[in-house]
């Protein structure tokens, strides 16, 4: 017997940095959240990340202890997609790999209600290609959150040629109920923000390689000279060196313009394990716990 989807229940698949952040956004907006990872170890790590972030919100006065406890009470960690059966929307936030995302989207079809909205959080991949893995691509949209999802207000709603008007309307309503600001765009490589931002960040790395200035001076120039809240090299560290390279590769493959190609320095940093904030070292050094 099919389970009727609840208008206040969403599923989030993938509890890495972005997935855990999206799950927290949903919890703080009052949704019940089914949080999925395929293994217990990954699930526990994602759950711990959500709990730690909510704890920080309490310490900073952004939430009360009661709000934290209520949010965590609405969280159901699971290793089974069958627990997505009562969701009215499911969001995938797994690794930025087309095959991995497509396989998961196909699995969603077997687990969710026929009326459930499907969203992918890809930052640079083709939403159309991901949607094509579903038997019902008309209900698949792109919802591109930005890191940290708990803080940044923007969500790009990406429409494919296959998406229905109903799916887009539901996606907008969902984003607004999360307390975020939606901006609509087509399924072009990089959408809006990354189409402009990724080559700019790569240019900052090239300026460093050319000896223009050291990392601190480059970032100071952009924060003080253009009123950026964070410098470009610190931003790459926040995004993750590996994520920057993945996004750059996707845009390079689409446009074949030099500015989109990741500078070799970034690949060397990945080889050295210097991934930015998450590893404790990128263009700058950070404390890790």
Q: Is the dihedral of CA 277, 283, 287, 288 positive or negative?
A: positive
Q: Which pLDDT does position 124 carry in this prediction?
A: 82
Q: How many Å apart are CA 62 and CA 214, to the nearest integer?
A: 36
Q: pLDDT under 70 in the chain at which residues?
A: 1-6, 289
- Report residue 162 as tokens: 């296959």
Q: Which pLDDT does position 4 carry in this prediction?
A: 47
Domain with CATH 3.40.50.720 in the chain: 6-186
Q: Which pLDDT does position 147 carry in this prediction?
A: 87
Tens digits of residue pLDDT in 175-223? 999 999 999 999 999 999 999 999 999 999 999 999 999 999 999 999 9
| Peptide bond before residue 84 is cis, with ω within 30 degrees of 0 | no
- Report residue 97 as tokens: 């790999």
- Report residue 63 as tokens: 């939430």
Active site residues: 123, 144, 156, 194
Q: Which pLDDT does position 6 carry in this prediction?
A: 59
CATH classification for the domain delimited by 193-279, as one of 2.102.10.10, 1.10.3720.10, 1.10.1040.10, 1.25.40.420: 1.10.1040.10
Domain with CATH 1.10.1040.10 in the chain: 193-279
Give the long-range contacts of residues 48-52, CB within 8 A, separation 24 or more: 49/15, 49/17, 49/20, 50/15, 50/20, 50/23, 50/24, 50/75
- Report residue 69 as tokens: 């406890």
Q: How many helices (H) and strands (E) does the chain have?
A: 11, 8
Q: For residues 252, 254, 256 and 258, what is the CA-based torsion angle, rounded to 10 degrees?
A: -30
218-234: burial string, b at 16+ Cβ within 10 Å, e else: bbebbeeeeeeeebbbb
Q: How many Å apart are CA 206 and CA 201, to the nearest integer?
A: 9
CATH number assigned to the domain covering 6-186: 3.40.50.720
Rounded to the nearest 5°, which phi and psi values hold at 240?
Answer: 110, 125
Partners of 145 in the beta sheet? 155
Q: Which pLDDT does position 3 carry in this prediction?
A: 45
Q: Which pLDDT does position 123 carry in this prediction?
A: 86
Partners of 11 in the beta sheet? 34, 90
Q: How many Å apart are CA 251 and CA 260, to the nearest integer?
A: 6
Q: Which of 117, 32, 114, 28 is nearest to 77 (CA)?
A: 32
Query: How far is CA 92 from each of CA 31, 107, 165, 190, 237, rounded to the nearest angstrom?
Result: 16, 11, 21, 18, 23
Element containing residue 58 per DSSP (H, E):
helix 40-59
- Report residue 230 as tokens: 């964070």
Q: Which pLDDT does position 1 carry in this prediction?
A: 33
């Amino acid at each position: 017997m099919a389970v009727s989807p609840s208008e206040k229940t969403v599923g989030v698949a993938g509890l890495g940095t972005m997935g855990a952040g999206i799950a927290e956004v949903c919890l703080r907006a009052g949704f019940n959240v089914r949080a999925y990872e395929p293994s217990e170890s990954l699930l526990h790590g994602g759950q711990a990340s959500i709990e730690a972030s909510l704890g920080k919100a309490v310490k900073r006065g952004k939430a009360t202890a009661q709000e934290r406890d209520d949010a965590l009470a609405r969280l159901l960690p699971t290793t089974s997609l069958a627990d997505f059966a009562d969701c009215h929307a499911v969001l995938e936030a797994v690794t930025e790999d087309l095959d991995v995302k497509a396989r998961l989207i196909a699995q969603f079809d077997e687990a969710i209600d026929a009326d459930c909205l499907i969203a992918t959080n890809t930052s640079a991949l083709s939403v159309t290609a991901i949607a094509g893995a579903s038997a019902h691509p008309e209900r698949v949209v792109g919802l591109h959150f930005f890191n940290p999802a708990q803080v940044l207000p923007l969500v790009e709603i990406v429409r494919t040629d296959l998406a229905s008007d109903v799916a887009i309307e539901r996606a907008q309503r969902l984003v607004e109920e999360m307390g975020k600001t939606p901006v609509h765009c087509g399924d072009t490589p990089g959408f809006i923000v990354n189409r402009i931002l990724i080559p700019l960040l790569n240019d900052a790395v090239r300026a460093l390689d050319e000896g223009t200035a050291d990392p601190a001076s480059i970032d100071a120039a952009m924060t003080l000279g253009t009123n950026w809240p964070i410098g470009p090299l610190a931003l790459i560290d926040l995004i993750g060196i590996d994520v920057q390279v993945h996004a750059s590769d996707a845009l390079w493959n689409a446009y074949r313009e030099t500015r989109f190609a990741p500078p070799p320095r970034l690949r060397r940093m990945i080889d050295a394990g210097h991934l930015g904030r998450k590893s404790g070292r990128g263009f700058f050094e950070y404390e890790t716990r």
